[in-house]
Amino acid sequence: MAPIEVLDLPQVWQQPAYDALVSTLESLELSPPIWKHTRRRSEILHEQESLASQKKGEVTRYLSSIIKSPLDWLADDDQRDLVWSYASKRMTERCGRTAMGEVVRQWPFNERDGDDAFKLVIREPALTGDSLGFKTWGSSYVLARHLPRLEMSSLSKLFEGPSRERVLELGSGTGLLGIAAAAFWGAPVLLTDLPNIVTNLRANAESNTPVVTGRGGSLTVGPLTWGGSGNEEVDQDLFGEPGQFKVCFSP
């Protein structure tokens, strides 16, 4: 990606057209990096340089000029609101992860295995308040990549034959590890977390269901609060049967 030349951007004093402003603001988007375990160091450095080129003070000042402008030459309020919204998003992307809204990341697996390669798409809501469950930890990705090795070694007895043992994940967060387990092991996996985390967790499970079912696995999501007793804190339908899970893990 070539460095952005601020002088080439449509300035507010020029009263650019709505389409020109929207197109420019879309081009300034800083998307979260696609995680790729096999990337070379030179590729990572190139990406960092490209991202750094878009974090210059000139771009920040350009975005500020749009945010503070009345944009009174645009046709209607809806157009102005959308331009301000785009400019504000581009500003937050340059203020670090905690200032950003939600992000969607792609997590690739089995890149070297051709037809067996797949990607999981994980949504992370804005990191506000109690946000530990809304962040995908890098350690989850590292462990997820070792799941096939665990299946062939320490868990081999549990996954012998066509029948797959039920798997329970505690504190699933955004669900990357548990969803990867269902995909790699072709097993039924129950993802759990606190009630306020479950909504996003369930959305991630649903969006990755085609990948998981295509590989023989399945996903169930429910709340599980340690020490909780009410139906909102513990899904009684999911945990009423003793000894139903042979594998239990937590990222």
For residue 35, give the DSSP letter. P
In a domain, 145, yes or no: yes
> Domain boundary at 99, 127, 158, which?
99
Of the pLDDT bands very low, low, confident and very high (cuts 50, 70, 90), residue 3 is: very low
In a domain, 92, yes or no: yes
> Domain boundary at 99, 114, 144, which?
99
Reported pTM: 0.68
* d(C-alpha 224, C-alpha 88), whole Å: 37
Helix (H, G, I), strand (E, B) or coil at 109: strand
Same domain, 134 and 72: no
For residue 241, give the DSSP letter. S
Q: Mind listing the pLDDT tens digit for each residue in 207-238? A: 999 999 999 999 999 888 876 666 667 777 78
For residue 207, give the DSSP letter. H
Q: Calculate the dihedral angle through the C-alpha atoms of 6, 11, 13, 16, rounding to the nearest 10 degrees.
A: 160
- Whole-number pLDDT of residue 45: 44
Query: Where does 28-130 have alpha helices with state H?
Result: 41-53, 57-68, 77-92
> Domain boundary at 70, 99, 128, which?
99
- Whole-number pLDDT of residue 51: 45
Q: Mind listing the pLDDT tens digit for each residue in 81-123? A: 999 988 888 877 776 666 566 788 889 998 776 678 899 999 9
Same domain, 194 and 154: yes
In a domain, 195, yes or no: yes
Confidence check: pLDDT of 249 > 50: yes
- Whole-number pLDDT of residue 38: 53
Of the pLDDT bands very low, low, confident and very high (cuts 50, 70, 90), residue 30 is: confident
Q: Which residues of 160-177 are buried (b: 16+ CB within 10 A; e: fewer)?
A: eeeebbbbbbebbbbbbb
Q: Which residues contact 4 (CB under 8 A, 6 or more apart)?
A: 28, 53, 54, 56, 59
- Whole-number pLDDT of residue 119: 92
* d(C-alpha 235, C-alpha 23), whole Å: 46
Q: Quick check: 184 and 213 in contact, CB under 8 A? A: no
Q: Quick check: 175 and 107 in contact, CB under 8 A? A: no
CATH number at residue 139: 3.40.50.150
Q: Which residues contact 91 (CB under 8 A, 6 or more apart)?
A: 60, 63, 64, 67
What's phi and psi for 200, nearest 5 deg?
-70, -40
162: domain range?
A: 104-249
Total domains present in the chain: 2
Same domain, 59 and 167: no
Radius of gyration of the chain from Cα atoms? 22
- Whole-number pLDDT of residue 105: 85
Average pLDDT over every residue of 181-187 = 93
Comparing CA positions, the residue from 193, 215, 201 lying closest to residue 119 is 215
In a domain, 1, yes or no: no
- Whole-number pLDDT of residue 163: 65
In a domain, 185, yes or no: yes
* d(C-alpha 210, C-alpha 146), whole Å: 22
Same domain, 116 and 73: no
Same domain, 109 and 233: yes
28 or 54, greater pLDDT: 28
Same domain, 234 and 140: yes
Same domain, 89 and 111: no
